[in-house]
Structure 1
Amino acid sequence: MMNRHMNNLFDSERTLFTDNWYTIVGLARKLAIRGGHLVGTLRSNRKCNPKNVITTSLNRGQIFGMVSDDVITVLKWKDKRNVLMLSTKHGIETTNIGQRQKLVAIIDYNAAKSFIDVSDQRASYSSAVRKALKWYQKVAVEALMGTTIVNSLFFIIKSMGKKHL
């Protein structure tokens, strides 16, 4: 199903940013073959994860990563807790943020996902879901109404040239 919806995005050098629910090595490999990129947080228990990256113990501020032959980078970075990342667009490069080093992959991921986080937060303020509905009706109404309304609002504001609400 995903291939049918994403066919027009392949071979266009686009980057797909995913959270740890969708990030897997297999998807990254397929996107890399077709000219796309995948950047996302990674669950430690996924198949095909490099065991030595997952099991490496790090102190705060340390980074460990591996790059495969097909340009898939799996990174582990320790800030307050361990952060696992997968990227076909980035290597293990860092940049200075204030007085500490931060992975470029994490900076790009946070910038791309910030819009989704704001959208989810705004949708939670005014849900169209009623108490009398069954759970599956609530999911459908929320998906159709709440997300659509909030995303439409952001599209209108962005098209007007405003940066913030």
Structure 2
Amino acid sequence: MNVWQWTPIKRGYKVWVLADKSGYAWKLDIYTGKKDNAVEKKLGERVVKDRTENIKGKDHRVYFDNYFSSPDLLRDFKENKIHACGTVNPSAKSLPMLKSDKEMKRGDYDWATSNTGLSVMKWKDKRSLHLLSNFHDPTQTTEVARKKKDGNEIKVSCPIALSDYNANMNCVDKFDQLMGVYETDRKSRKWSYRIFWYFIYATVVNDFIIHKEMKLPKTTLKDFRTEIARDLVAPALVASRGKKRSLSSHLQSKKKKPNVLKSVHLESSSHQPERSTRRRCAECSSKKQQIRTD
């Protein structure tokens, strides 16, 4: 399943993200602003169409919020065999009139269908919510838990399309959450630096998601990032071992024992044990009970 989400930001750069249910970002695109100093009409529709060009006819499911959603877009997706669902602005063109809020109570919903296979649904919770879909049956319902003012929990009816939308609309949020956990972004006068590092961190997050999906040994994002950093600097450390340099420069901290990464262990002859004269161990020489090595 593919998910689109757009969060409005007053200042800064914007990124269009296409992510799947695991949070893996399939496509990232920087929004560069107006073209030819003119405001682009139907920007949301154009962005979604551009990013879904290669999944036409494959019955993929795409979810997005009301910034992108419109009857014209979902009609186009229907013709190209792309299942789409999203919230929609009730003032959007070509939408039918549904029950007013005054006529509805919590858990009530109204719907209408078109001869092109689109369904528009209005569901009343604390506030009303409008949903547009080109593949859901508007008559199918499910139940969701809601709390009353006295704290008691009740079950209220809602369209199954809404339950499906809520279950799949947080995919970009997962990606954003992982991106922000160990954010190292810094202010810079050159926006290109920030964009460059954004894509670097996005690559690391995608690698971490792949690591989890392949059911490899469990690790945290922090340890995963640390291991990548250590692997990147390992070749330089290996090369420096052949030079005449005091071991103390590699042992800045006495709290941890020196070690060689598993990924580069036995990679070259510089890692092999060498027999020489007895000498003092750089790690143990500071202890009360000193140990000499061969």
Q: TM-score, normalised by structure 2?
A: 0.48
How big is the shift at 1:64?
0.9
Q: Give 1:132 deviation, angstroms.
A: 2.5
Report if the CA contact (8 A) 2:109-2:158 is conserved.
Answer: no
**Which has the bigger relative contact order, CA under 8 A and spacing at least 6?**
1
Which has the higher Rg, Structure 1 or Structure 2? 2
Instruction: Give how far 1:45 is off.
Output: 3.1
Does the 8 Å CA contact 1:40/1:86 hold for their aligned counterparts? yes
Equivalent residue in structure 2 for 1:15, among 61, 64, 69: 61
Is the aligned partner of 1:122 residue 2:169?
no
Unmatched runs of 5 consecutive residues or more in structure 2: 1-45, 146-154, 221-294
Give distance in 1, aligned partners of 2:90 and 2:61.
22
Do structure 1's residue 96 and structure 2's residue 140 form an aligned pair? Answer: no
Whose helix fraction is larger, Structure 1's or Structure 2's? Answer: 1
The CA distance in 2 between the partners of 1:5 and 1:26, in whole Å, is: 17
Cα pair distance change 1:18/1:64, threshold 3 Å: same
Matching residue's letter, 1:24: S
- For 2:284, the equivalent position in structure 1 comes to none
Q: Which of residues 62, 69, 86 in structure 1 aligns to 2:115?
A: 69
Q: Take 1:37 and 1:10, find their aligned partners in 2: how far apart are those partners? A: 10
TM-aligned CA deviation for residue 23 of structure 1 = 1.0
CA contact under 8 A between 1:128 and 1:146: conserved in structure 2? Answer: no
Residue number among 100, 111, 115 corresponding to 1:56 in the alignment: 100
8 Å CA contact 1:72, 1:88 repeated in 2: yes
Consecutive unaligned residues of structure 1, counting only runs of 5 or more, are: none
1:107 deviation in Å? 1.4
Report the AA paired with residue 36 of structure 1: I
TM-fit CA distance, 1:118: 2.1
Q: 1:143 to 1:71 in 2, by over 3 A?
A: farther
Q: CA deviation at 1:34?
A: 1.5
Name the CA shift for 1:29/1:5 in 2 (closer, same or farther; >3 Å): same
Deviation at 1:5, TM superposition (A): 4.5
CA-atom RMSD in angstroms = 2.7
In structure 1, give the amino acid aligned to 2:100: T
Q: How many residues align?
A: 161
Cα distance, 1:40 vs structure 2:
0.8
**2:162 maps to which residue?**
106
Indicate whether 1:150 and 2:210 are aligned. no
Q: In structure 2, what is the Cα distance between the partners aligned to 1:117 and 1:69?
A: 34
Shift of 1:125: 2.5
For 2:119 and 2:197, how far apart are their aligned partners in 1?
A: 36
Q: Which amino acid aligns with 1:47?
A: K
Q: Would the aligned equivalents of 2:186 and 2:194 in 1 still touch at CA under 8 Å?
A: no
| Contact 1:128-1:141 at 8 Å conserved across structures | no
